[in-house]
Structures are given as structure tokens and as C-alpha cells.
Structure 1
Amino acid sequence: MKSHASTLLAEVRTFRQNHPDVRYVDLIALDIPGHFYGKRYPIEMLEKVAAGSPLKLPQNAVLLGVQGGLFKIGDYCFNDGDPDANRRLVPGTLKPVSWESQPLGQMLITSDGTEAPIEFEPREVLAKVLERLQHKGIHPVVAFELEFYLFDKKLDNGLPQFARDPLSDDADDQPNLHIERLSRFGEVLDDMAQTAKDLGIDITVITAEIGPGQFEINFGHLDDGMRAADWAALFCRSTRGVALKHGYRASFMAKPYLQYPGSGMHVHVSLYDGAGNNLLAAHQQQPLRHAVAGCLELLPHCMPIFSPNHNAFRRLGGTVNAATRASWGFEDRDACVRIPESDPRNLRIEHRLASADANPYLVLAAILVGLEHGLEAKREPIAPLNEDRSSGTDFPLEMLDAVRAMQHQPVLRDKLGAEFVDVYCENKRQDHLAFQQEINAREYRWFL
């Protein structure tokens, strides 16, 4: 414990030496809907926390709805006295914030690793899954890919406007994969990539996607699944901030335009043993087939995680590469679970179903549980799309159905935690019902 505290203290002191103009640091954590909450600490107080002073925030901050409201979930929020819960600083995450108008720092905090972790905190859920896999001798290597849209900074009566081409001042109309679009929006994209690298995130490939102002950025592969999810979460925060600095809005909203493709969160996962052997490639890739079968079996029950809001369900089955059934295939982007071509050492799955605004900690936890379940059950998967284009199993396409499918699934309750599953499902149910409590203009047009 003393060694841990001394490492943190050294990190804070080094940061202060390198950034003497920074007076405050945002201590942040991701809640259930995937938003950051936290507190802004004076740098002097942060040094005390690093030295061992308590760091406490309300436990129920994790339960906030999409709009920040609290829902009655069991005894939480209204019958528990709104207690504080201990958090800890995450080593290696203290970095400068370059997109704000004043010098600022940020650092991740979490309840995992404390004496009483919050069972439904997303980072704690993933931590338990990773710890269990490690005890079984399974070591995941993970890489995220995130799609997002750039919009004009100003909304038009609340509706997004196309990003303006900085060279012509017209709406972005460059086609899919057009390298010219990367050049025309190069200034903001370069800043996004450099800012992410300054946060310690390994940015690799940048792609212009099909939608106007839509891009994808890939991250490097990591043998630390938690850190990979940290990267995805922090990238979303920094990208939105950098976009505003350049006069744009960046959004990871799943389906901002009905007529254009939605934005997804693609997750590449390979599994290794302690000696570095790829577990999926053994025995003529039979474990790969078992792992795929497990993913597909649990996928219909994980839809509230992969599609965490009403808008995210709009993304499914609309346009390019968004499936409406649980499916798999080799080098097939129509599949939920794609097997990219690779050598046996790098054999992996690419899970393509989650929306870009899903919670990366929970998405990775759900994928890993599917892989784990498949390796244990050792079942054969359904036919891949390469053999049968109609292959696939149905999954819920509406939130309330999805919540019902998730809440009582025994494997998820066992491997993600029954308390988390109950809390998460009720949070999604209440958020969905709250979303319905507004009559929009179309409803009046149709029924008045």
C-alpha cells in the first residue's frame, strides 16, 4: 500500500513540476449511461489524496440517468441516505487538458480496488471479469475502434447541421473513404489524434466513413483490457472538447441521421494463455468456434449494453453493416461477430454490434463473458454467413424487450453480478420510460 501511495504521489508531483500553471484537476469516472461525473480538485488537495487522504463521492452518482436524474432503483437513491463511497486514483491517468480555456488536468478515479467497491460501477464490473479470466489463465488482448460524426457547432432548432468543409464552406459531401476529406478536416482531426496521444492513447488508423462528417479512429492493441476501455472512454471526452475548440460538435450518438449509417464501437479481442499462445487458434481453431457460439448465445441478452438507448436501436438494420440478427462470419462486415483474416498468432474476433455511445467498460465485459461462456460450454456455433446468408438468431430490437431478456439471464447474473444486472436493467427501463414522457411535433401532426 505504501509503495502504491508513493507511486501516485510521485506522479502528482511530477505533473506539478511539468505543468506549474495547472491549479485544478478534474477527477472523473464513467457512470452507467457512459457519462463522466466527478469533482474538480485543487492540485494541492490532489497531492494529499495521492498521499493517502480519503477520496469520497456519492455512491449513487453511478446511477444517474442520461439526463442526470436519479431513479428509484431498489433502495438506492431515495431509501439509502445517499451515502458516499470511497474512490481511488487510477495511476498513470493524470494528464493535462488542452481543450479548455484555462490550464487544467484530469485523472480517472474508480471504486474498484477499494475496500468496498460499488458492485454496479462499470469499471468494477469489468475488473471482476478480467480478474476471473486471469485466474483461469486467460489473458485478453483488446483494441477498440470508434466511429463518430462531426457537426456544425450551431444547431438548427435543436437539429444537427452538416459539418462545414473548411476549404469551401459547403456541407461535407466527400464520399466514403475519400482521402480528401481527411485533408479538408485535417486540422481538427490532427488535434484530436495528438490530444489523445498526449493522454497516453495509442491512436493508429483514421478513416473517413460513409456519412457526411463521419470518421473512424482505431486504437492500438493492448494486453490490459481495463486500460483499453479507459482509452475508449477518455477518447470520447477529449474528442468532444477538441471539436468545440475548432468550431464543431463531435458526437458518438448511434444514429444521428436516418438516411446515413450509424456510428459503432467495434472491439477486437484475442485470448492468450500464460505462455503467450493464442487460445482461439488451438486444435484447428475449435476454441474459436466455441467462443463465437458463446458470444452469439448471450448476445440477445446483452442488447441493453450494446444498444444503451432508444436512438441506438435505430442503428440496427438501417444501412451498411448493421445487423438485426446475431450472426458471425469470416471477413464479413455484415456479421455481428466478424473473424478478420490473420495468422494464427493474431487470430481474434471483432465484435461489431455495439453503438459508439455504449459504455466501453460494459461492452468489453459483456463480450468477454460471452467468450468465457463459449469456451466453457464448448458448443458449435450456427453456420457463418459465408455459408448461409440467412444464418442468425433473433435479438430484441426495442429497449423494454431487451431489458426483459437481460434481467433474468442466469449466465449474465452469475458472471456480471446479479446486483449489477438488476441495477442496470432498472436504470435502462426508467430512462426509456422518461424518454417517452414528451409529445413531439410529429405526434400532434398525426393525431391532433
Structure 2
Amino acid sequence: MDAVCSDLVAEVRGFRQRFPDVRYVDLISLDIPGHFYGKRYPIEMLEKVAAGSALKLPQNCVLLGTQGGLFKIGDYCFNDGDPDAPRRLVPGTLKIVNWEKQPLGQMLITSSGTEKPIVFEPREVLAQVLERLGRKGIFPVVAFELEFYLFDRQLRDGLPQFARDPLTEDADDQPNMHIERLSRFAPVLDEMVETARAQGIDTTVITAELGPGQFEINFGHLDDGLRAADWAALFCRSTRGVAMKHNYRASFMAKPYLQHPGSGMHVHVSLYDEAGNNLLAANGQRPLRHAVAGCLELLPHCMPIFAPNHNAMRRLSGTVNVATRASWGFEDRDACLRVPESDAKNLRIEHRLAGADANPYLVLAAILVGLEQGLEAGREPIAPLNEDRGSGIDFPLEMLEAVRSMQNHAQLREGLGAEFVNVYCENKRQDHLAFLQDINAREYRWYL
């Protein structure tokens, strides 16, 4: 047994000692739309997998559409025999699930690091970007911030209802950022934080956001980009589970209300060398400007990643603190790329464009490719919003146009992998067309 297997066996055995009532563990991984898929394993079998027994799942699980269906993408799904692909356990991710009625565990799995990685698996895409940056002596430090809405658990005519204030039983229908809202919703928010911490996630600041029932929870900064994205993915899963326990729905939908702010995924990224020096702060912050330029140039071609569905595109409609063009600025929340005030050691870029329902592995991978290419090209960016409020680069606001812009972009294909770009774009194109195959009441009202 090699050292990795030995450590995994010790992790499983330690878990069983701490949680003797747990009989099953969910082995989970994120697909292209950002949903978890996987299998529920008896804890005894998990120990065998940890010791080296094969773990395989269908390769095409990664290709599922938003509603779980399979699309014909090249030879995948319908002409490839639906083959299995090896997966491995991600060390350090075996944690207790405390929002279910029965004791349960969960653990991340991935094809990354196996003898045959799935090149379009989101976690593998990010792993390849991070590995390439490491070879160049570039080491990111990353922190995610996720906004979400709480709704009443019961829908009405298929529509979400405002969350009920647990103290007054009234609907929380007044948009504000008052600190008292944190107190009124403390039981569910506190359990969300504690549950996230039980998953190993370093949760920090909690904010009552502007929308009714809208909140934001931030995570600590990590020098491991894969783990940072793991945290974001696992946080969404645990937050939804805790909300259901408290008779709410938690949703990371990017734009649930037309009249209220959408929910974003804000990603803070700084870049360091092997000695721990902040690369962005060198030479009078010239690398910062180059990195910004690269991100802005690539951004219009990454829109299917940052706004991965029809609803996410709705969020980019000029509401408060959401950019409608690729822009940047110092301490400016109207910009796609905000440079927060900080000392040279902590100088970073906050990428604010992605919707909260975007895939965190792919969002981070796309951001890093933009930073990487900007540092290498060495170009100056457009004027910041602080100097010119009209500064910006247009980006697509419709999915099919966005897919066309992404599909054949040479630098993006090189940075993220050509096969991934092909698969991802076709998945988004077919998912969008499937979404449009419905005639709603408004269409009859307008055209009948």
C-alpha cells in the first residue's frame, strides 16, 4: 500500500471511530452545470476503495445537462458505449453530513490524478491550469464569496415566496442591508456556518445583502486553488441542506427576482512567487495592470462560464453593483474587476462578474487563464472606471452568441484545453435550446 492509500485508509478509519453510526458515504463530484453526481457507498466498501480497490463511474456523468439529461456531443453519450472512467478519493474531504435525518458522510471524488483523467471534468480543468502556473512559478491565493437567497420552502404556482422572518412570521420582503436581519435569521445562518465548518470550510464574514432574504457568506483565503473551489461547491450543497431543515429554500440562482439584485460569485485572487512575494505588486504594480488587461481581453469569450444559463444572463442587466461591460477600477463595485485597497503583500483582484450558480472550478480556471495571459502579453489595460466612467469592453448578453464567442477563441482553447471548450460549448448550446422548448403564458398573451 502506497503512502496516499495509507493516509486515505487512516482517514476513513478515523472517521468511523468518530462517527460510528454512519453506515453510508456519498461519493460526489461536480458536473459541467455545477450539480453534484455520484454514488452512495457503504462505509465498509469505502475503506476498500481507500486501500486501492477500483472506483469507477460513467464518464458521461460529467456531461449531464441542467435537468440531468444527456446531449449528443461529438461521439460522447450515444456513440461511445457510455464507458466507465476511473475516479479517486480526494484526501481530506471525508466529512459528516449533519443536515440529513440519518447519519451520513460525504467525500469528494475526481478523475484528476488517475491514469485516465476526464479532460472536460471541471475539477480536472482547474487542476491543469494550476499545474501549468506552478511550472511557471506562479502560485495563486484565492477566496470565494457567495451570495444566495432564502425563500419560503413552499412554492406558490411554481414561484418562490419571500422567506418568513422567524421572529415575526412576516415575509422578509423589505430589501435592506440592516444588521438586524442577521439576528432575525440567526438560527438558520448560524447552522449554515457551523455546518460549513464541519465540512472543513473556513467561513468568515456574514452579510445581510440588499435583496429580500439575500445573504452573503465569505470564505478564508487559500493558497490551494482546488481546495478553494471545493469549498465553494461544498458550501452550496450544505447550505441548501440546512435551509430545508429550517423550512426554507436556499438558492444560488443568479437572478431570482427581476426587481431585486441578483446573486454573485466574487473571487479574490492574488499571485505569488515561490518566495512568497506578491507578483502583482512588483515594479510599481505594473504586473497588476497587465493581469487586469489579460482578464478583460479574455472575459467576453468566457461568458458561458461566468453566466452559464438563461437566468444568469438576466443578472447582467444594469442592476446595482453588476457590470454590463468588461471594466476595472480601484475600490469600485460597479467594475467587473475591482482592486480592493490593500498593502503590497495582499494586493489582489476581485472578479465580480460570475453568477452565484456558476461552476466554481471553471470560474477560477477562466480567471487564472486571463491573469496568466495578461502577465505574458504585458499590455496596458483600458482606463479604470475611476478615470473614465464610460470605460469598458462589450461582452455577449445572449447565450448562443456567447457560445460562438467562446468556441473558437484560440487563447481560451489553449488555456483551458480545446476538448473541454468543445464539450462545454456544445453542452451550453444544447441546454439553452432545450430551455427554449416551452411556450409560457406570456407568449400566448402576446401572440395568440
**TM-score interval for Structure 1 and Structure 2 normalised by the shorter chain:** over 0.9
The aligned residue for residue 236 of structure 1 is: 236
Q: Is the 8 A contact 2:162 2:173 kept in 1?
A: no
Distance 2:174 2:182 in 1: 9
The more displaced of 112-121 and 166-175 is 166-175
Distance 1:202 1:106 in 2: 18
Aligned-residue offset at 1:318: 3.4
* CA-to-aligned-CA distance 1:107-150 (integer Å, 9 cap, x gap): 00000000100000000000000000000000000000000000
The aligned residue for residue 41 of structure 1 is: 41
Aligned counterparts, 1:175-324, within 5 A: 175-324=175-324
Which amino acid in structure 2 is aligned with residue 318 of structure 1? G
The aligned residue for residue 418 of structure 2 is: 418
* CA-to-aligned-CA distance 1:79-121 (integer Å, 9 cap, x gap): 0000000000000000010000100000000000001000000
The aligned residue for residue 390 of structure 1 is: 390
The more displaced of 20-29 and 316-325 is 316-325
Structure 1 unaligned blocks of 5 or more: none
* CA-to-aligned-CA distance 1:413-448 (integer Å, 9 cap, x gap): 011000000000000000000000000011111111
Distance 2:415 2:324 in 1: 25
Q: Secondary structure at the match of 1:393?
A: coil
The aligned residue for residue 105 of structure 2 is: 105
Distance 1:121 1:151 in 2: 31
Give me the TM-score of the superposition, normalised by structure 2: 0.99
Which amino acid in structure 1 is aligned with residue 257 of structure 2? Y
Distance 1:437 1:384 in 2: 41
Aligned-residue offset at 1:397: 0.2
Aligned-residue offset at 1:174: 4.8
The aligned residue for residue 160 of structure 2 is: 160
* CA-to-aligned-CA distance 1:141-195 (integer Å, 9 cap, x gap): 0000000000000000100000001111111145422111000000000000000
Distance 1:160 1:268 in 2: 31
Q: Is the 8 A contact 2:148 2:214 kept in 1?
A: yes
* CA-to-aligned-CA distance 1:317-343 (integer Å, 9 cap, x gap): 331011110000000000000000000
Aligned-residue offset at 1:237: 0.1
* 1:119 has 2:119 as partner: yes
Distance 1:3 1:313 in 2: 46
Q: Secondary structure at the match of 2:338?
A: strand
Distance 1:65 1:291 in 2: 33
Which amino acid in structure 2 is aligned with residue 90 of structure 1? V
* 1:441 has 2:426 as partner: no
The aligned residue for residue 135 of structure 1 is: 135
Q: Secondary structure at the match of 1:187?
A: helix
Which amino acid in structure 2 is aligned with residue 392 of structure 1? G
Distance 1:137 1:157 in 2: 54
The more displaced of 267-276 and 309-318 is 309-318
Q: Is the 8 A contact 1:174 1:181 kept in 2?
A: no
Q: Is the 8 A contact 2:177 2:207 kept in 1?
A: yes
Q: Is the 8 A contact 1:261 1:318 kept in 2?
A: no
* 1:8 has 2:11 as partner: no
The aligned residue for residue 346 of structure 1 is: 346
- Percent of aligned positions that are identical: 83
Which amino acid in structure 2 is aligned with residue 418 of structure 1? A
Q: Is the 8 A contact 2:254 2:357 kept in 1?
A: yes
Distance 1:291 1:236 in 2: 29
Distance 1:177 1:274 in 2: 40
Distance 1:320 1:162 in 2: 20
Q: Is the 8 A contact 1:65 1:431 kept in 2?
A: yes
The aligned residue for residue 75 of structure 2 is: 75
* CA-to-aligned-CA distance 1:225-272 (integer Å, 9 cap, x gap): 000000000000000000000000000000000000000000000000
Distance 1:12 1:46 in 2: 7
Q: Secondary structure at the match of 1:394?
A: coil
* CA-to-aligned-CA distance 1:285-340 (integer Å, 9 cap, x gap): 00000000000000000000000000000000331011110000000000000000
Q: Secondary structure at the match of 2:423?
A: helix
Structure 2 unaligned blocks of 5 or more: none
Q: Is the 8 A contact 2:192 2:242 kept in 1?
A: yes
* CA-to-aligned-CA distance 1:370-389 (integer Å, 9 cap, x gap): 00000000000000000000
Distance 2:320 2:98 in 1: 35
Distance 1:175 1:88 in 2: 44
Runs of 4+ in 1 over 4 A off after TM superposition: none
Q: Secondary structure at the match of 2:101?
A: coil
* 1:147 has 2:147 as partner: yes
Q: Is the 8 A contact 1:203 1:217 kept in 2?
A: yes
Which amino acid in structure 2 is aligned with residue 272 of structure 1? Y
Distance 1:23 1:141 in 2: 37
The aligned residue for residue 30 of structure 2 is: 30
Q: Secondary structure at the match of 2:397?
A: coil
Distance 1:239 1:224 in 2: 22
Q: Is the 8 A contact 1:174 1:180 kept in 2?
A: no
Aligned length, in residue pairs: 448
Distance 2:30 2:89 in 1: 13
Distance 1:19 1:431 in 2: 41
